[in-house]
A and B are shown apart, each in its own frame.
Chain A
Amino acid sequence: MPFLTPQNEREVRQAFTELRDPVKLVVFSQSLEAADLCAENEQLVREVAALSDKISVEVLNLAIDRERAAHYGIDRVPAIAVEGARDFGIRFYGVPAGYEFSNLIDAIVVASTGEPALSEETRVALAGLTADVDIKVFSTPT
């Protein structure tokens, strides 16, 4: 059964009209660790990617593709790295259903355009950062 309703698909297609650069969704799974969630995650990502020819999907195994996992800084599954023209450091842990779904779509769009919707003041302040900043956002599906 598909995750996305026809209405979801219409809304996502509308959001994807803004896409510019190709986006790659790098999915990490590990069937021994969380088989059902990883399968759900892969299916959701593939359904989303099918809505635009600018989106590609690569599925990796956390236990086997260790170098790639280390490269993306990923140590749990299911996980998704959202890459645009370069890797901006956007990651999703867990199936991005419900509330996180709109964030995944937004992440794909902003990674593709490379143009964050932030105020000039925020951009200037971020450009002046001299230390790395790791932001974790915990949420639940509903």
Chain B
Amino acid sequence: MRLAQHMAVASDRVRATAIEATEFPDLSRAYQVMAVPKVVINDRVHFEGALAEPDFLGAVLQAAGAGR
């Protein structure tokens, strides 16, 4: 969540939502959360575990359709 919330401050385009998985089992099921942390970007790009900043950025750009 740390990188996500800093990105939200850096760009008006970015929103960051932390979700406590055990309190929202319906969401966890819908997004197939098997391990945490799990990050889902624009419901398109998802990954488990913590990524370094350049890789996290790559996922954001991919989800935004700006890069591959």
How many B residues touch A, CB cutoff 8 Å?
45
Inter-chain CA distance A12–B38, complex, in Å, is: 26
Determine the chain B residues whose CB is within 8 A of the CB of A95 once the complex forms. 20, 23
A89, chain B: closest CB distance, angstroms: 4
Chain B interface: which of A2-10, A51-59, A62-70, A105-113?
A: A105-113
How far is it, in angstroms, between the C-alpha of A127 and the C-alpha of B1 when the chains are bound? 20
Using CB atoms and an 8 Å cutoff, list the residues of chain B in contact with chain A: 1-24, 27-28, 31, 33, 36-43, 53-54, 57, 60-61, 63-66
29 residue pairs from A and B, CB less than 8 Å apart: A89-B8, A89-B14, A89-B15, A89-B16, A90-B16, A91-B15, A93-B19, A94-B22, A94-B23, A95-B20, A96-B20, A100-B1, A118-B3, A118-B7, A122-B10, A126-B10, A126-B13, A129-B64, A131-B42, A131-B66, A132-B15, A133-B42, A135-B7, A135-B16, A135-B41, A137-B18, A138-B31, A138-B39, A139-B36
